[in-house]
């Protein structure tokens, strides 16, 4: 018997320990997650709460001179935040305890700029404390955001501020129980109040904060806290604020290069295959355009399509999701956001309602040492600690699931056993349909979790082929679902001349209205583009003919069309190019200014008629990595091009991280001519771009 075992062990790499056969466990490969990071990845999604003076001043970034007296919520109820988060399936809440304007939501002993000098609870309140208690009550974890940049502090930029910053960190990390994540935002240095200096202060983020020391402090008082953001962090920004990771997404990062300033932030969307540290991605995105609540955005809460895409493009692409739910002036998460969140979680729950592989017969073409411990069926046993493994030299392998009867499928979920490293570089999925294997997905990384949305196939078998891996393959979970058909909302576009185009997926009918009523099958059926140049709200719905399921309703509001709009002058550029700023298409742009033709630069537009307007919007260039963003602007109106009135000036706060349409409101005015001045560019550039200028009527 012993001889037989010895021969076997020679072929199967089975060492023999006191007469028992044991297959060698797979070895770890590459950088590994810590237990803290593993626990954090399992949280998957949590809420972000931006609520501060900005909520009351209607800003995205406060300058630092706003009075704490303005913080006066009428019905602040942090338990409502916790309830809403819990009901949506979120696992925690990260509260912005101090944003860039320096106002603190807790009564910090180190400043007067806090809730203690606000009318809320007569200065006796502490939002952080209340939220910590609410999180406990609802079984949620608490995280905190402390802005390193402080536009109020007189010593910002000097060593004294670092002491202040660390003192505040100590307060937050010792007085409120466990903090699962500490969030350090990257926006740093620029103009501000700074105790009345009203100046621009630039700092070198990596040097000024001495992150090594700051991190040491954090870990000495709060070892359970995971640190996100700048410095030698344990999790990384996903490189955009729109809510998506790249399909290829490594939880690894060349952090040394990053700390040496050699990594462009867009690389965060995919991580680095050859990164030397485990630094998984976190996708932070707001449920509406801004991070803070603005009543004008009640109509702009992300569509259900966008929300569902966010889910699949963050959690479904190996990233955590940090979803911002900004409370309104009352101190409550607004009804619009709550409604969308409910719709969103209902769809996600329905998508993953019934798992279909659990009852299949599973087999794999390679199983480590033929040991049942690493058998194919471990991927459907619901145990995250068991996994299908291949032999050490096997980096391509297939796992097959056979159904009792042909079964419709359109979602596939895969998880690697990441405790031993992220390995898979490429894989495909095949479905056996009517006796024929058909490739339904060709993909790259998996990581902690990857979810694929595929067209529905009715398969008698399903096969996952790992086609490339850094080391032997370790997969802990594979699932499949048949999510209800999701009918995407139709896309409505109107060009400069008022031509309306409505698009939807093939196989759908589109119905629309022009009178503000909700469309149904009894409304106008869209067959081809039509012209409508008056002010209008177009509402459209798509109906999937085969299943009679309808989409949500698209609402598109327009003023009178830009048919009569003309460029009067522009400080540089030829007219054809400048015209792109008013062509109704934000994806075509005009870039202007240069080292020889320095900012400020301006453009004058004739709307062709006198219009009552109450604001304007600026869409920057929409494609590329260097979007040439305007940082500071002035906006004037006139009825005759001779007398101009300045209606608005200031900054496009946070445009660098979130280069979306910027809305600026002013008191209503009658105007025919618009003058938009680009005063300065983000990152001291000299070139800026305009994708589109619109007015708000
Ligand atoms: C950005 C900040 O500047 C925004 O105001 C917001 O807090 C967002 C989450 O991070 O970089």
Q: Is the CB of 147 under 6 A from ligand 1?
A: no
Residue 135 contacts by C-beta under 8 Å, 6 or more apart in sequence? 82, 92, 93, 141, 142
- Based on DSSP, count helices (H) and strands (E) in the chain, helices before strands: 12, 37
**What average pLDDT does this structure show over 82-101?**
98
Torsion angle of the four alpha carbons 661, 662, 666, 671, in this order, in degrees rounded to the nearest 10 = -50
Q: Is the CB of 70 under 6 A from ligand 1?
A: no
Cα 523–Cα 528–Cα 534 angle in degrees, nearest 5: 70
The model's confidence at residue 306, banded by pLDDT at 50, 70 and 90, is very high
Residue 36 contacts by C-beta under 8 Å, 6 or more apart in sequence? 224, 226, 234
Average the pLDDT over each of 186-190, 259-263, 430-434, 609-613 and give the range with the smallest value: 186-190
Q: Is the CB of 481 under 6 A from ligand 1?
A: no
Judge whether residue 12 has pLDDT over 60. no
334 alpha carbon – ligand 1 mean position (Å): 20
**What average pLDDT does this structure show over 115-127?**
98
Q: Is the CB of 208 under 6 A from ligand 1?
A: no
pLDDT at 5: 41
DSSP 23: P
The model's confidence at residue 186, banded by pLDDT at 50, 70 and 90, is confident
The model's confidence at residue 594, banded by pLDDT at 50, 70 and 90, is confident
Atom of ligand 1 lying closest to residue 61 CA: 5
47 alpha carbon – ligand 1 mean position (Å): 14
Structural tokens at position 272: 């680095």
Atom of ligand 1 lying closest to residue 656 CA: 11
Dist. CA 484–CA 477, nearest whole Å:
22
Atom of ligand 1 lying closest to residue 292 CA: 5
CB contact at 8 A, 687 and 589: no
pLDDT, one tens digit per residue, over 651-669 is 998 898 888 889 999 999 9
Dist. CA 143–CA 323, nearest whole Å:
13
Q: Is the CB of 654 under 6 A from ligand 1?
A: yes
87 alpha carbon – ligand 1 mean position (Å): 25
pLDDT at 625: 60
Dist. CA 57–CA 48, nearest whole Å:
20
Q: Is the CB of 313 under 6 A from ligand 1?
A: no
The model's confidence at residue 252, banded by pLDDT at 50, 70 and 90, is very high
Dist. CA 676–CA 632, nearest whole Å:
11
Identify which of 51, 58, 187, 655 to mutate to test ligand 1's pocket (most ligand atoms within 8 A of the CB).
Answer: 187
Percent of the chain with pLDDT over 70: 96
Atom of ligand 1 lying closest to residue 96 CA: 7
pLDDT at 628: 86
Dist. CA 386–CA 200, nearest whole Å:
55
Instruction: For ligand 1, atom 6, name the residue with the nearest CA.
Output: 291
Is 149 strand, coil or helix?
A: coil
H runs (alpha helix) in 104-181: 127-138, 159-175
Q: What is the CA radius of gyration of the chain?
A: 28
The model's confidence at residue 469, banded by pLDDT at 50, 70 and 90, is very high
Q: Is the CB of 187 under 6 A from ligand 1?
A: yes
Q: Is the CB of 657 under 6 A from ligand 1?
A: yes
575 alpha carbon – ligand 1 mean position (Å): 36
Q: Is the CB of 291 under 6 A from ligand 1?
A: yes
Average the pLDDT over each of 166-180, 372-386, 544-558 and give the range with the smallest value: 544-558
345 alpha carbon – ligand 1 mean position (Å): 25
The dihedrals phi and psi of 54, each to the nearest 5 degrees, come to -55, -30
The model's confidence at residue 179, banded by pLDDT at 50, 70 and 90, is very high
Dist. CA 250–CA 454, nearest whole Å:
22
pLDDT at 626: 64
Average the pLDDT over each of 428-437, 462-471, 551-560 and give the range with the smallest value: 551-560
Q: Is the CB of 188 under 6 A from ligand 1?
A: no
Q: Strand pairing of 554-558 and 252-253? A: unpaired
289 alpha carbon – ligand 1 mean position (Å): 12
Q: Is the CB of 54 under 6 A from ligand 1?
A: no
Judge whether residue 559 has pLDDT over 90. no
pLDDT at 17: 45
Q: Is the CB of 185 under 6 A from ligand 1?
A: yes
50 alpha carbon – ligand 1 mean position (Å): 9
Q: Is the CB of 237 under 6 A from ligand 1?
A: no
Structural tokens at position 348: 């996600």
Judge whether residue 542 has pLDDT over 50. yes
The model's confidence at residue 14, banded by pLDDT at 50, 70 and 90, is very low
pLDDT, one tens digit per residue, over 635-655 is 999 999 999 999 999 999 889
Residue 295: exposure state from Cβ atoms within 10 A (0-12, 13-18, ≥19): exposed
Structural tokens at position 462: 């399903």
Q: Is the CB of 176 under 6 A from ligand 1?
A: no
Count of CA atoms in the C-beta half-sphere (13 A) of 290: 24
94 alpha carbon – ligand 1 mean position (Å): 13
Of the candidates 408, 410, 405, 448, the residue with the CA atom closest to the CA atom of residue 429: 410
CB contact at 8 A, 376 and 369: no
The model's confidence at residue 550, banded by pLDDT at 50, 70 and 90, is very high
- Helices 159-175 and 211-221: angle between axes, nearest 10 degrees: 20
The model's confidence at residue 519, banded by pLDDT at 50, 70 and 90, is very high
The model's pTM is: 0.90
Q: How many CB atoms lie within 10 A of CB 316?
A: 21
Residue 544 contacts by C-beta under 8 Å, 6 or more apart in sequence? 485, 487, 507, 508, 550
Query: What is the residue-wise DSSP string for 564-633?
Result: G-EEEEESSS-HHHHGGGGSS-TTS-EEE--SSSPSPEEEEEEEEEEEEEEEEEEE---SSS----EEEE
CB contact at 8 A, 427 and 466: yes
Residue 642 contacts by C-beta under 8 Å, 6 or more apart in sequence? none
Residue 697: exposure state from Cβ atoms within 10 A (0-12, 13-18, ≥19): middle
654 alpha carbon – ligand 1 mean position (Å): 7
Count of CA atoms in the C-beta half-sphere (13 A) of 654: 22
Instruction: For ligand 1, atom 4, name the residue with the nearest CA.
Output: 654
DSSP H or E segment with residue 457: strand 450-469
**What average pLDDT does this structure show over 18-36?**
86
Query: What is the residue-wise DSSP string for 342-356?
Result: HHHHHHHHHHTSS-S
pLDDT, one tens digit per residue, over 327-384 is 999 999 999 999 999 999 999 999 999 999 999 999 999 999 999 999 999 999 999 9
Q: Strand pairing of 688-690 and 92-98? A: unpaired
Q: Is the CB of 550 under 6 A from ligand 1?
A: no
Structural tokens at position 304: 């259900």
185 alpha carbon – ligand 1 mean position (Å): 6
Q: How many CB atoms lie within 10 A of CB 447?
A: 25
pLDDT, one tens digit per residue, over 390-422 is 999 999 999 999 999 999 999 999 999 999 999
The strand order across the sheet containing 181-184 reads 226-229, 181-184, 141-146, 92-98, 45-49, 319-324, 281-286, 236-237
Dist. CA 285–CA 484, nearest whole Å:
25
Q: Is the CB of 286 under 6 A from ligand 1?
A: no
Q: Which residues pair with 439 in a beta bridge?
A: 430
Which carries the bigger pLDDT value, residue 684 or residue 272? Answer: 272
CA dihedral sign, ordered 7, 13, 14, 18: positive
The model's confidence at residue 21, banded by pLDDT at 50, 70 and 90, is low
pLDDT at 624: 65
Atom of ligand 1 lying closest to residue 48 CA: 9
Q: How many CB atoms lie within 10 A of CB 91?
A: 18
Of the candidates 140, 148, 133, 159, the residue with the CA atom closest to the CA atom of residue 205: 148
Instruction: For ligand 1, atom 10, name the residue with the nearest CA.
Output: 185
CA dihedral sign, ordered 679, 680, 681, 687: positive
pLDDT at 530: 97
DSSP 394: -
Dist. CA 259–CA 277, nearest whole Å:
12
pLDDT at 8: 42
Atom of ligand 1 lying closest to residue 286 CA: 9
Q: Which residues pair with 537 in a beta bridge?
A: 515, 557
Return mean pLDDT, the chain.
94
**What average pLDDT does this structure show over 211-220?**
96
pLDDT at 660: 86
Count of CA atoms in the C-beta half-sphere (13 A) of 438: 14
The model's confidence at residue 575, banded by pLDDT at 50, 70 and 90, is confident
DSSP 64: S
């Amino acid at each position: 018997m012993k001889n037989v075992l010895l021969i076997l062990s020679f072929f199967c790499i089975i060492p023999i320990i006191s007469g028992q056969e044991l297959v060698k466990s797979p070895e770890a490969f590459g950088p590994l997650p810590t237990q803290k990071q593993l626990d954090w990845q399992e949280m998957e999604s949590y809420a972000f709460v931006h609520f501060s003076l900005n909520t009351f001043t209607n800003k995205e970034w406060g300058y630092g001179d706003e009075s704490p007296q303005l913080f006066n919520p009428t019905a602040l109820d942090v338990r409502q935040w916790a309830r809403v988060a819990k009901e949506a399936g979120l696992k925690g809440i990260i509260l912005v305890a101090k944003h860039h304007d320096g106002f603190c939501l807790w009564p910090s002993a180190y400043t007067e700029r806090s809730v203690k000098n606000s009318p809320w609870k007569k200065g006796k309140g502490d939002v952080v404390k209340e939220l910590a208690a609410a999180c406990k009550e609802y079984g949620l974890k608490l995280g905190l955001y402390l802005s390193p940049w402080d536009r109020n502090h007189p010593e910002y930029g000097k060593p004294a501020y670092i002491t202040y910053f660390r003192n505040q960190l100590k307060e937050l990390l010792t007085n409120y129980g466990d903090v699962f994540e500490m969030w350090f935002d990257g926006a740093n240095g620029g103009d501000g109040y700074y105790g009345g200096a009203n100046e621009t202060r630039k700092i070198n983020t990596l040097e000024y904060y001495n992150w090594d020391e700051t991190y040491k402090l954090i870990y000495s008082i709060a070892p359970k806290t995971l640190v996100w953001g700048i410095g030698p962090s344990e999790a990384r920004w996903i490189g955009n604020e729109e809510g998506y990771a790249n399909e290829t997404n490594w939880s690894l990062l060349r952090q040394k290069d990053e700390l040496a300033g050699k990594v462009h932030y867009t690389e965060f969307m995919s991580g680095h295959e050859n990164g030397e540290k485990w630094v998984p991605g976190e996708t932070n995105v707001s449920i509406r355009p801004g991070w803070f609540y603005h009543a004008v955005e009640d109509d702009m809460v992300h569509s259900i399509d966008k929300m569902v895409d966010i889910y699949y493009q963050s959690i479904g692409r190996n990233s955590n999701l940090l979803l911002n739910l900004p409370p309104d002036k009352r101190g409550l998460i607004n009804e619009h956001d709550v409604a969308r969140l409910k719709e969103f979680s209902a769809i996600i729950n329905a998508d993953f309602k019934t798992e279909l592989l659990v009852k299949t017969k599973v087999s794999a073409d390679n199983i480590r040492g033929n040991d049942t411990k690493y058998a194919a069926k471990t991927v459907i046993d619901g145990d995250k600690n068991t996994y299908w493994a291949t032999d050490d030299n096997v980096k391509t392998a297939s796992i097959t699931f056979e159904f009792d009867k042909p079964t419709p499928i359109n979602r596939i979920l895969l998880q690697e056993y990441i405790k031993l490293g992220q390995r898979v570089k490429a894989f495909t999925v095949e479905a056996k349909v009517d006796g024929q294997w058909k490739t339904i997905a060709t993909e790259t990384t998996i990581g902690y979790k990857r979810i694929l949305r595929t067209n529905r196939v009715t398969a008698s078998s399903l096969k996952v082929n790992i086609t490339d891996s850094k080391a032997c393959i370790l997969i802990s979970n594979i699932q499949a679902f048949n999510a209800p058909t999701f009918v995407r909302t139709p896309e409505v576009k109107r060009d400069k001349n008022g031509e309306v185009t409505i698009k939807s997926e093939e196989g759908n009918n589109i119905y629309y209205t022009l009178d503000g009523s909700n469309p149904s099958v009894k409304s106008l059926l869209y067959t081809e583009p039509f012209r409508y140049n008056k002010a209008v709200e177009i509402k459209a719905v798509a109906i999937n003919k085969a299943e009679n399921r309808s989409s949500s309703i698209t609402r598109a509001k327009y003023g009178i069309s830009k048919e009569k709009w003309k460029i009067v002058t522009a400080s540089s550029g030829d007219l054809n190019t400048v015209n792109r700023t008013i062509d109704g298409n934000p994806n075509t742009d005009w870039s202007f200014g240069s080292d020889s033709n320095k900012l400020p630069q301006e453009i004058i537009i004739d709307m062709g008629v006198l219009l009552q307007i109450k604001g304007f919007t600026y869409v920057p260039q929409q494609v590329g990595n260097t979007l040439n963003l305007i940082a500071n602007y002035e906006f004037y109106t006139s009825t005759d091009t001779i007398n101009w009135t300045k209606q608005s000036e200031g900054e496009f706060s946070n445009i660098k991280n979130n280069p979306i349409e910027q809305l600026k409101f002013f008191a209503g005015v009658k105007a025919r001519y618009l003058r938009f001045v680009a005063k300065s560019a983000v990152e001291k550039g000299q070139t800026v771009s305009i994708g589109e200028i619109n007015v708000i009527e």
